[in-house]
């Protein structure tokens, strides 16, 4: 019998570019992104990725005006 494993994805946030606008948070259908409670070196509240339910749909990366997100398939 053939079995399949659900792929896992990781979203990498480049905090050099993220301005904390929240667009990706709003558009993620799985609610896997949230705005950090701490400022980065530039004074922005960047986005954080939580993970487990990410489907790799790319919506967050495509909507980001600063191209701050990269999605990696882990398996």
Give the binding site for ligand SF4 (CB under 6 A): 9, 11, 13, 18-24, 28-30, 32-33, 47, 54-60, 63-64, 66, 68-69, 71
Q: If you search the block for the tokens 């494993």, which residue do you land on?
A: 5
Tokens of 16: 């050099």
Min dist. Cβ of residue 58 to ligand SF4 (A): 5
Min dist. Cβ of residue 38 to ligand SF4 (A): 14
Min dist. Cβ of residue 51 to ligand SF4 (A): 8
Tokens of 55: 């489907």
Sign, Cα dihedral of 8, 38, 25, 14: negative
């Amino acid at each position: 019998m053939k079995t399949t494993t659900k792929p896992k994805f990781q979203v990498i946030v480049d905090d050099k570019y993220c301005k904390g606008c929240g667009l990706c948070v709003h558009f993620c259908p799985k609610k896997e992104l949230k705005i950090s409670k701490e400022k980065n070196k530039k004074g922005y509240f960047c986005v954080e990725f939580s993970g487990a339910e990410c489907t790799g749909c790319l919506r967050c990366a495509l909507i980001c005006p600063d191209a701050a997100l990269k999605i990696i398939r882990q398996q």
